[in-house]
Amino acid sequence: MSMYDLIMKKKHGLALNQAEIEEMIQDYTAGTIPDYQMSAMMMAICFQGMTKEETKDLTLAMAHSGEILDLSGISGIKVDKHSTGGVGDKTSLVLGPMAASLGVSVAKMSGRGLGHTGGTIDKLESFDGFTTSLTTRQFIDNVNRIHIAIAGQTSDLAPADKKLYALRDVTGTVDQMSLIASSIMSKKIASGADAIVLDVKTGDGAFMKTFEDSRSLASEMVSIGKLAGKDMTAVISDMDQPLGYAIGNALEVKEAIRTLQGEGPADLTELVLTLGSYMAVKAKKAESLTDARSRLSDNLHNGRAFEVFRQFITAQGGDVRQADHPELLPSASLTEDVVVSEGGYVQKILTEEVGRISLLLGGGRITKDSPVDLSVGIVLHKKKGDFIKPGEVLATIHANDSGKLALAKEKLLQAYRIVPEPTATEPIIRENLE
């Protein structure tokens, strides 16, 4: 069937079969289907939707458009984790080593940050010499030896998704549930893991702003993964305020280190223990979620999780002295406290705006080629539900430009809503789906 016929078929609300989807993705990746026809198909999908079977077939077609990582050389069950992204989300920095401390094989592909959300690779590059450019042999050897490796996504990993996403980004077809789910899951399936734990964010700082949309996305991705033969769990977590207190690459690394030493913020600690418990059970390294949680919590306090983190940094070329002495990590030349004039309770934080303030300071990238200042960012002192007195410090800004610092200070004050009476706050874990 020609691409014209496929567009017409979808335009009239009919389902595409597996062969049609596979040929369409193969031809588009090869360049024989022009952008204007694929744009028409994406818009037809936005209006007509896709069945679960179509979504699964699209996901697998994109996953198989390039290299499928062969992780058979890694012993044990390989478990991956994916977050839909948020502000202050340094989860992988803590979760990976913590899960690995129980013997879970964490073979993870990660990306860089874009826009108001940060990227794991950018944060790890706060360590001098750290690299995610590993050979397949190095990647496998590191996981077999210390149970964890994190590498950058290669250009051969789901190339159809990269090409399609760039097209969707400029044609108003990003926000369709099946297209979002297949984009995420194609990369996860191509990464070769046996089991996948999803951290789907919900709230102001998340891609999905409402709980209902976040739950729909989580359900869609779990369904795709199961149809593709993966052991799946999704955790819906709150992103109606930044995760932890630190926002910005090196600042988040410092908070991750404190968490690995048992001194982290309550919300981040709860999230990693929940995600880590599912990872440990899926890897058959714990008998139950309760057992896993107890042992993982022990390893955050007895030094084992932090020791795996040290080994991980060393194995990928990083300067481990910066893990032992976080003050050696990149630091900004300017710091200034943000002080409130009127007291009360923090009712709301415009989380996406806080992420954009970090971006303004230079802590993120607007395009994929933008430089990133690893040292800048924000450390919050007050979060939702907290009481703050007049003249008390709301947050501290870390900057390398006085003009940007002044603007960031002004914007941060506007990002907080302070009211006379306390209001209820949401728990960090909203729901678990399997």
Catalytic residues: 82, 161, 168, 183, 187
Distance CA 195, CA 254 (A): 29
Residues 6+ apart with CB under 8 A from 266: none
Q: Which long-range contacts (CB under 8 A, 24 or more apart) does 363-366 make?
A: 363/118, 363/247, 363/248, 363/249, 364/113, 364/114, 364/115, 364/116, 364/117, 364/118, 365/112, 365/113, 365/114, 365/115, 366/115
Distance CA 230, CA 209 (A): 27
Distance CA 6, CA 28 (A): 13
Instruction: List, edge to edge, every strand of the sheet that includes 195-202.
Output: 79-83, 195-202, 231-238, 429-433
Distance CA 375, CA 255 (A): 13
